[in-house]
Amino acid sequence: MDLSSMSGVIMEYSDDSAGEHDSDYENEDDDLHGNPGRRSDVMSLDDSHNPAAGSSASNAAADAAALTRAAQTALLSGNGEGHVTITGNGCAQTASKKTYTVYIISVRALNGAAWTVYRRYSQFKALSEKIHLRMNNRLQMRVKELLPPKKMIGSFDPEFISRRQKALAKWLNQLMDAFRRINMPPFNDEDLRFFVTHDANKPPRDLKISTNTINSSDKNSGDASSTGVVGSDENRLGPEGQMEHALNAAGTASSRSRDVRTGKQVSLEDFEMIKVIGKGSFGKVLLVRKRDSRNLFAMKVLDKKNIIRRNQVEHTNTERRVLGQIRHPFIVTLHFAFQTRTRLYFVLDYCSGGELFFHLGRCGRLRESLACFYAAEITLALAHLHSLGIVYRDLKPENILLDGDGHVRLADFGLSKEGITTGTSGTGSFCGTAEYLAPEILNRTGHGTGVDWWALGMVLYEMLTGMPPWYTKEREVLFERVRRSPLEFPKHVSPNAKSIIQGFLVRDSAKRIGVRLGAQEVMAQPFFSHIDWKALYERRLSPPFRPRKDVGSLDASNFDKVFTRMRIEVPTGPSSIAGSNTFAGFSFEGHFQDRRQRERQLAMNNASSVDGE
């Protein structure tokens, strides 16, 4: 995602070996900006395919049976593949008033159908025993032994339940991957399919959802927690019901973040809204000015209702989590994050140069010296991410922003994956944007950080020629070309450029440059022979191109006028409302010790704009 396209996930099926999520094809099903020049060949998911649609509380029991059948059909129609996320937990009661723990599982089929099921630990155990009896030898996985053990005392302790939720999610993902390793789609297994479809969208009696289940490890948030109660007559905890619970469960404590520079809490009231610079399905990106420092920022405003309905909660939480730990000269910096009852706010660097996509659309292609400069800065950004065990997975011109000086800033980390330490393995996800997907993603053979080097090869080719290699709007044809077609170059592409692109676009990920010997191998390529890497990292090399600026105080000439002419329609009411459990730990205050120095630098960078007022 770029700043102006919001949380625009193009094609997404992602698992989580760390036990937090496993997702499926997901996207913004409109043209990401409404911009005629933007790619529109996205994988569309229509809510009309959702088996939860049309269900009402009054006939929940009858609907649940129908939804179970519809859910099973949806999984089978996707060849036994799908997305599973354990999104939370809670407590419920039996008819005899005995309390038990429930784990909330969100499921999405490849055709976009989505539903929620509620499972006790005993049901996980029963599943493990059934599959152990039938499949243990074939799966080459200790199905029963790897299941988290039963605990007799202290089983209602919130920290224990949170740990168990993650452990169960990890076990479920391991189980699904075990099926895939023997070339069997996981939901073709009858027991596993029954486990994720039976009693779809039918929550248990008097379910009380815990508010400390998502990102519960983030102990430093300013978000308050509360417990919401869903009665037996309120069976709406599919995507819509989770949304309604998330919004209604909010209390009255503060969800503001704190400004390290001043020590004061930061909220929406601390920013002046100037103009819209981007729009997507989940909200808008605004150019804003902080009232006390007068610094300019980009504020990404996301609608919680749309995020939850479109099953983008984990992507949003991932982006917040990743941005909170990154500081790099060629990656956008997160300064603040806070939330209201209905919206999430990211306050990020304002990159006044706009998207690389915008400039490619203007000029067609870049001269090689400029493409080399951008590729070098991207290389350093990717190397930093990989050193932290993060694979980016969504490198494309829309996500490559230019700051006011012309340096690259990578944006949108919703598809990122943490805990990936190798170039060839670590996750089995199907995610990214169609034109830039590596063969190992298409073939679902597992992938690692090597997919980022593949994407850099695709982007570099596009910078030099105007289009990605093998491009066509016919997705299946595109995928077949990526797998098998030869790589061809126009005559104007230099031998050194051809060589590095060919090295990036090796279909065997183990032989791809950047995978064999890491980023140093990329930096040593002849294409980059003239780059002083230390000077580049320190931003002492002047970019060959400085984005155009209009005369005036608040320039936005590098953003589409379709957006800059839009009215700002963001609620201006108080933001001191607690977040729901769905976005617990979202608030962020900027944790770097040299925050004061960074704000002074921001003020200097913005001086030319402010002086013109």
Alpha-carbon distance 357 to 521, whole Å? 27
- Residue 10: which of 546, 449, 554, 398 has the closest Cα? 398
Region of poorest pLDDT, from 42-51, 285-294, 440-449: 42-51
Cα distances from 221 to residues 134, 214, 248, 494, 575, in angstroms, run 45, 12, 20, 51, 15
Structure confidence at residue 411 (pLDDT)? 93
Residue 186: inside a domain: yes
Residue 181: inside a domain: yes
pTM for the whole thing? 0.59
Structure confidence at residue 111 (pLDDT)? 72
Using the 3D structure, point to which of 212, 227, 248 is the last residue of a domain: 248
CATH number of the CATH domain containing 584: 3.30.200.20
The edge-to-edge listing of strands for the beta sheet with 99-109 is 114-119, 99-109, 82-93, 207-209, 228-230
Residue 602 pLDDT more than 60? no
Using the 3D structure, point to which of 537, 554, 588 is the last residue of a domain: 537
CATH number of the CATH domain containing 457: 1.10.510.10
| One domain for residues 220 and 264 | no
Structure confidence at residue 601 (pLDDT)? 52
What crossing angle do the helices spanning 450-465 and 356-363 adopt, rounded to 10°?
Answer: 30
3-state SS of the chain: helix, strand, coil percent to 5? 35, 15, 45
Alpha-carbon distance 9 to 415, whole Å? 8
Convert the pLDDT of each residue in 393-440 to its tens digit: 999 999 999 998 999 999 989 899 888 989 999 888 888 899 999 999
Residue 13 pLDDT more than 70? no
Using the 3D structure, point to which of 248, 283, 310 is the last residue of a domain: 248
| One domain for residues 450 and 311 | no
Q: Which residues touch 273 (CB under 8 Å, ≥6 apart)?
A: 286, 288, 299, 568, 570, 572
Residue 30: inside a domain: yes
Convert the pLDDT of each residue in 310-357 to its tens digit: 888 888 888 898 998 889 999 999 999 998 888 999 999 999 898 999
| One domain for residues 265 and 217 | no
Residue 176: inside a domain: yes
Residue 40 pLDDT more than 80? no
Alpha-carbon distance 108 to 75, whole Å? 8
| One domain for residues 411 and 269 | no
Q: What is the arithmetic mean of pLDDT over 569-575?
A: 54
Region of poorest pLDDT, from 316-325, 387-396, 486-495, 523-532: 316-325
Task: Provide the mean pLDDT of the chain.
Answer: 76
| One domain for residues 409 and 328 | no
| One domain for residues 442 and 579 | no
Please tell me which residue in 270, 394, 412, 560 is annotated as part of the active site: 394
Query: Has 41 been annotated as catalytic?
Result: no
Q: Cα 39 from chain centroid?
A: 19
pLDDT interval class at 259 (50, 70, 90) = low
Which residue is listed with tokens 């350093």?
380
Which is more confidently placed, 589 or 372? 372
Structure confidence at residue 567 (pLDDT)? 79
Structure confidence at residue 152 (pLDDT)? 56
Residue 305 pLDDT more than 90? no
Boundaries of domain holding 244: 11-248
Structure confidence at residue 230 (pLDDT)? 25
